[in-house]
Structure 1
Amino acid sequence: MFPKINPTTTKAWQKLAKHFEKVNDVEMQDLFTSEMNRTEKYSIQWNNFLLDYSKNRMTSETLELLLELADEVKLKEAIEAQFTGKLINETENRAVLHTALRDINNLKPDVKATLSQMEHFSEKIISGSWKGYTGRAITNIVNIGIGGSDLGPAMATEALSFYKNHLKTHYISNIDGDHVMETLKNLDRETTLIIIVSKSFTTQDTLTNAQTVRSWFLEKALESDIEKHFVAVSTNLEEVSSFGISEENTFTLWNWVGGRFSLWSAVGLSTCCAIGYSNFEQLLNGANEMDNHFREAPFSENIPVILALLSVWYNNFFQAETEAVIPYTQYLSKFVNFLQQAVMESNGKSVDRNGNFVNYQTGTVIWGSTGVNAQHAFFQLIHQGTKLIPCDFIAFKEALYGNEEHQRKLLANFHAQTDALLMGTKGTEVENNFKSFSGNRPTNSLFIKKLTPQSLGSLIAIYEHKLFVQGIIWNIFSYDQIGVELGKKLALKRLNS
C-alpha cells in the first residue's frame, strides 16, 4: 500500500513547528562560530559529487526532526514501491519506472530492444550510411515535441555540446508558426532528419508542427521520400503509419514513463544522435548510479533526500515559496527550464493522495539562471530583498577546454556569492543602511568534478528524486499532470466553435 499520510498530523511535523519558533531568528553566522566543523558536518561526498549544505538555517536538531518526518511519512516504503513497479501513479493507474530505462545491467527486454534500435539508428545517421532521398547524408536533426518531449532532450543536448559530433540539432516545440518557419528557413530538405516525439501522436501542438514541416518537405520531395527523413517516437502505430512513417522507423514508449522523465527513453533520440550512443549510455549510467545512491544510502547521507527535506523546511515553515537554481556553467543554460517542468508540473497539486484538499503549502516555484549572468540580473533581490529565497549553487571544478584563468574567476564568483549570502556585512562597519546586507540567506553548494555525460545523468537524477521525496512528504501524487488538460480542452472548444 502506497503511504497516504498527512504530514501535518505526524509527531515530527508538530515538533518541527515548535522547533521553528526557537530557531526562526537564529543566524547562520552564529552557527558557524559555535560549530567550527560545521562545513564537514553538513556535507555529503558521493562519487565525484560534493554537497555542502552547511549554509542553511538549521541545527542538528532541525536535521534530526526532518529525518524523523521522512520516517513517519514512510519514505523508505514509498521509494521501494516506485523502484519495484507498484502502481504509485494511482490517478492514472500507472507504475512510475523511468529508473528502469537506465538500469543498464538489468534492463527490461523491451527497453533493451529499444536502446539497441537507438544505437544502430544513431550510428547510421552519424556515419552517413543513412541517406536522404537524393543520396546525401544527414547533417541536421529537427526534434518536434512539446513539454518533456522537448525540454529534456533539448536541455541534455545543449548541456553536452562539448561532446557533440558534426550533426546540428534543432528543437521545435511552440505552436507559434514563426518559431517553426524560423527553424526551417536555413535547412536543406535533402540533408534534414525530422524526429516527431508524441506518445499518442495526437497532441495538437506537436502534430500541427509536424504537419507544417511535412508540407515544407513535400514542396520539393515526394510522399515516398518521407520514410527517409521522418522517424517517430510514439505508441500509436496507426497514426504514425498514416503520416508516412514506417514501423521500422518508429521507436516505442511505455505508459510507465512520464513525459517529463522520458529523456532516458527514445525521447532522447535526438540527444543520442548528437553525442553518439556511447555517450548517451554514459548519461544513463550516471542516472543509474544516482538511483542506487538514492535507494540505498541512509537518509542522513542521501543527497536527494537532504535537498528535499531542506526544501520542505523552507517551504512549509519559513513560508519561502520559491527556490533559485544557479548553475555556474553556460552549458546548463536550459537546466532551469527543464527543472521548472519537472518540479512544478509534478508537485503543483492541492489535493492529497486521500483525495482531500490540503491545508498546507505544496510545490515550490523554481527559477534561476546561469552564474555569473544571474549575479548581474536578479541577485540584488536575493541579497537585499525582503523575500527569503533558498538557492542551489552548482559548479564543476574542471573546465572542459582547460582555460584555467576563466575557471578560477568563475569559481571565485561562485564561492564569493555563497559567502556573501551567508555573512552579509555582519561584523563590519557600513556607511549607511543602503550598504547593509543582512546575510543569513540559505544556499546549498553542489560541487561536481567535471561536466560529462555521466555526471549530467547523476545531476538530473538528483532533482528527479528530490521532487519525488517532496511529493511523498506532502502526500500528493507527483506523477500525473491533470492540471494541464483543462486548457487543452478549452483551446479545442474555441477552435471548433
Structure 2
Amino acid sequence: MSEAREAAWKSLGLHEDTTLEALFAADPDRLGKMSARLELGEGGILFDWSKTHLTDALIADFQELAEASGFDEMRRKLFAGEVVNPTENRAAEHSALRGVGKESSVEEAAALLERMRLLVEAIHEGALGEVKHLIHIGIGGSALGPALAVDALNRDLALVDVHVVSNIDGCALEQAFAACDPATTLIAVASKTFTTIETMTNADSALKWLAENGVDDPSGRVIALTANPEAAVKWGVDETRILPFAESVGGRYSLWSSIGFPVALGIGWEDFSAMLAGAAAVDEHFRDAAMADNLPLRAAFADLYYSRLRGCETRAVFAYDERLALFPDYLQQLEMESNGKSVTAEGKPVKGPTAPITWGGVGTDAQHAVFQLLHQGTRLVPIDFIASIAPGDALDPAHHRILLMNCFAQGAALMAGSANDDLARAYPGNRPSTTILCDDFDAAALGALIAFHEHRTFANAVLMGINPFDQFGVELGKSMAKKIEKGGESFDASTEALLKLAGLN
C-alpha cells in the first residue's frame, strides 16, 4: 500500500463516531447534501445517504483515499478497454454492451446484439415454429442476471414463458420440464466456456427430455450463448443459433450480452433495449461525474466506512417491491465474488476486511423475520432500502401505500430508536440505512440499478486496492469434485466417511 493510501486510511480512522440524530441537528441541509437524483429519461432514481454516518469531513477524506488509490486512472482504464484485471490480463468491457466504452468494442458489441435481436424477432415471428416456453440453462452469472430480469420484468403478459435452471440438482430441471410442453420449448445453454459441468450436464438431460417426448431434432431446439462458439458447434449447435459474446465480458457482468437472450425473448426487444439504456445512463454518470458528485463512488464511501471503520461484517438489502425478490441473490454474487478477496491487485495481503457478507430479502416479509436483529440485536448492520413510488400492481392503492409506509418507517425507526426503562422493549437507534427510491420500476430502472451496483462494486475494489474481476476462489471446490469423480484420491476422514455413506467411493 502506498504511503498516500496509508495516510488516507489513517486520517479516516481519526474521525469520532456521531449519532445520526446529532448529524441532522447540526446540519439543516443534511438531506440536500447527502442525497442526489439520477435522471433516466422519463423517470429517475433518488439516492438518499442522509441516514448514514457520512459527513462532509468523512467524504473529503474518502476523496483523498480515492485520489491516492488512483481512482480516476482506474476508471479511465475501465472505459478505455484497457487491462483492469491484471491476474488474467484482461479488460472488463461490460459497459461497451450498453454503448459506453472503447469505440471498437462498442461497435463489436452492437453487432453481436443486432445478431441477437434478429434471432429474437425471428423466433417471435415463428421462424422456429411455435415457441411458448424457453428453458434457460446456466449457472452463476449466466443464470442469476437472467433470472432477476425475467422475474422483475416478465410479470405481465409474457411473450415467451421463461424458466431459468442453474442447479445441478435434477429437481430443478424436472420442475421446468413439468411446466413446459416439449413440442413448443426452446433450450438456451448459457456458458462462457461451454464446458461448465453443471450447465452441460443439465443441457444433456434437456436434450434427452426433448427426444423422449417426440421432438425429432432436439439439437435444433437449442440456442447457445457463449464466448466459445467453437465448443458450441462441437457440442452440436447450429452456427446460426449461436449467440457469442466477448471474452472481455465477465460472467457476473454478462446480462447485457447474449446471456440476456431469455430476457429479450421473454419480454421483447424494446424492454431489453430500455434496460441497456438505463444502464448506459449510469455508465455515463460514473464515467463523467466528479468524485464529489459520483453516486456509485459515494455508495462505496458508505460501504467502506461501515466495513473498515465500524467493523460491520454484513450489509443488508431489502427491496420493498416483489419484482426485486431476486435482487439480493444477484448482489451476493456481484459483490462477494468480485470483492471477497484477501490479496491486493499486486498479490500482497490486504490490510483490513474486504467485501462484507451481502444478504437481504423482501419487505414487508423481512420485517416479520429478521428485523428483530436489525433493531435490537448486538450487531450493527448497514441497510439499503429499495422501493418504487409507482406500484407494480393494479389492485387497491392501499397495498402500495402500506408497502411504502413500512419501508420509510423502518428507516426512520432504525435511526431514531426508542428509549424504555424495560430494556427488552428499548430500541437503541442510531442504525444506518440508505434509501434508493425509483419513480417507477421499469426496464430502464432495473438496468440502472444493476449498473449502479456494478460500478459501486468496482469503486469499492479500487479504494481497497483489489482486483474485482477474477474469481479464483470458486475453483478449489470444483477441482476437488473432479478428483472425487476421477477416484484414486484420499481425503480427510470426515470426507471419506461421507463419500462412503453416499456410495461415492
Task: Specify if TM > 0.5.
Answer: yes
2:90 maps to what in 1? 94
Contact 1:144 1:209 in 2 (8 A): yes
Are 2:30 and 1:49 aligned? no
Shift of 1:7: 8.3
Q: Deviations over 1:207-228 (max 9, x none)?
A: 01001111111113466x1343
The DSSP-based 3-state class of the residue aligned with 2:180 is: coil
What is residue 263 of structure 2 aligned with on the other side?
A: 271
TM-score (ref. length: structure 1): 0.93
Matched, 1:449 2:442: no
- Secondary structure at 1:195's aligned position in 2? strand
Q: Which amino acid aligns with 2:239?
A: E
Which residue of 179, 190, 198 maps to 1:197? 190
Counterpart in 1 of 2:294?
A: 302
Match of residue 126 from structure 1:
124
Whole-angstrom distance in 2 between the partners of 1:472 and 1:432: 46
CA distance in 2, matches of 1:219, 1:240: 22
CA distance in 1, matches of 2:279, 2:209: 38
Once the two structures are TM-superposed, the CA of residue 163 in structure 1 deviates from its matched residue by 5.4
Equivalent of residue 352 in structure 1, options 321, 341, 344? 344
Aligned partner of 1:206 in structure 2 is 199
2:72 to 55, 76, 79: 76
* Cα offsets for 1:90-135 (capped at 9, x unmatched): 111111010000117966333222211211211122233421xxxx
Out of 231, 242, 251, the residue aligned to residue 250 of structure 1 is 242
DSSP-derived class of the 1:90 partner: coil
Matched with 2:99 is 103
Q: Does 1:470 align with 2:463?
A: no
Matching of residue 288 in structure 1 with residue 286 in structure 2: no
| Residue in structure 1 matched with residue 493 of structure 2 by the alignment | none
Amino acid at match of 1:204: I
Equivalence for 1:66: 62
Q: Give the aligned partner of residue 378 of structure 2.
A: 386
Indicate which of 99, 110, 116 corresponds to 1:112: 110
Task: Give the Cα–Cα distance (whole angstroms) in 1 for the partners of residues 350 and 4 of structure 2.
Answer: 10
Count of residues in correspondence between the two structures: 480
Instruction: Find the counterpart in structure 2 of residue 424 from structure 1.
Output: 417
Map of 1:138 onto structure 2: 131
CA distance in 2, matches of 1:439, 1:369: 21
The sequence identity of aligned pairs, in percent, is 36
Deviation at 1:167, TM superposition (A): 1.4
Task: Name stretches of at least 5 consecutive residues in structure 2 with no aligned partner.
Answer: 488-505
Q: TM-score, normalised by structure 2?
A: 0.92
Following the alignment from structure 1 to structure 2, what is the Cα–Cα distance between the partners of residues 359 and 66?
17
1:170, distance to aligned residue in structure 2 (A) = 0.4
Q: CA deviation at 1:177?
A: 1.4
- Output aligned runs, 1:300-339, within 5 Å: 300-339=292-331
Q: More displaced, 403-412 or 258-267? A: 403-412
Q: CA deviation at 1:369?
A: 0.4
**Secondary structure of the equivalent of 2:435?**
strand
Give the 3-state SS of the residue equivalent to 2:14 in structure 1.
helix
For 2:3 and 2:87, the matched residues in 1 are separated by 20
Contact 1:12 1:66 in 2 (8 A): yes
Structure 1 residues without counterparts, runs of 5 or longer: 132-136
> For the aligned residues, what is the CA RMSD?
1.7
The answer as to 2:501 corresponding to 1:490 is no
> Which residue matches 1:134?
none
Question: After superposition, what is the alpha-carbon deviation per residue over 1:115-168, rounded to whole angstroms, capped at 9, x for unaligned?
Answer: 11211211122233421xxxxx01000000000000011101111124552311
Distance 2:306 2:127 in 1: 54
Q: Partners of 1:164 and 1:447 in 2: how far apart?
A: 26
Is 1:6–1:474's contact at 8 Å kept on the other side of the alignment? no
Aligned to 1:439: 429
Alpha-carbon offset, residue 171 of structure 1: 1.0
Matching residue of 1:459: 449
Q: Distance in 1 between matches of 2:221 and 2:236?
A: 10
Give me the whole-angstrom Cα distance separating, in 1, the residues matched to 2:481 and 2:461.
30
One-letter code of the match for 2:181?
Answer: D
Aligned position for 1:241: 233
Aligned partner letter, 1:60 = D
For 2:22, what is the secondary structure of its paired residue? helix
In the alignment, the residues of structure 2 paired with residue 164 and residue 94 of structure 1 have an alpha-carbon distance, to the nearest angstrom, of 40
User: Helix, strand or coil: the match of 2:249?
Assistant: coil
Note the 1:153-172 alignment, pairs <5 A: 153-162=146-155, 165-172=158-165
Counterpart code for 1:36: P
- Cα distance in 1 for partners of 2:350, 2:152 equals 37
- Deviation string 1:312-353 (CA, Å, 9 cap, x unpaired) is 111001010110011110000001100000000000110111
CA distance in 2, matches of 1:179, 1:118: 27
Which residue of the partner structure matches residue 342 of structure 1? Answer: 334
Q: Is the 8 A contact 1:104 1:284 kept in 2?
A: no
Q: Pick which of 237-246 and 431-440 moved more.
A: 237-246
Q: 2:194–2:200: 8 Å Cα contact kept in structure 1?
A: yes
Residue type at the aligned position of 1:419: A
Aligned residues of 1:308 and 1:469 also touching (Cα < 8 A)? yes
C-alpha distance in 2 between matches for 1:178 and 1:162: 24
Take 1:18 and 1:187, find their aligned partners in 2: how far apart are those partners?
60
Q: Does 1:151 align with 2:137?
A: no
Structure 2 SS opposite 1:108: helix
Q: Give secondary structure in 2 for the equivalent of 1:368.
A: strand
Instruction: Give the Cα–Cα distance (whole angstroms) in 1 for the partners of residues 412 and 267 of structure 2.
Output: 37
CA contact (8 A) 1:234 1:253 kept: yes
| Counterpart AA for 1:189 | P
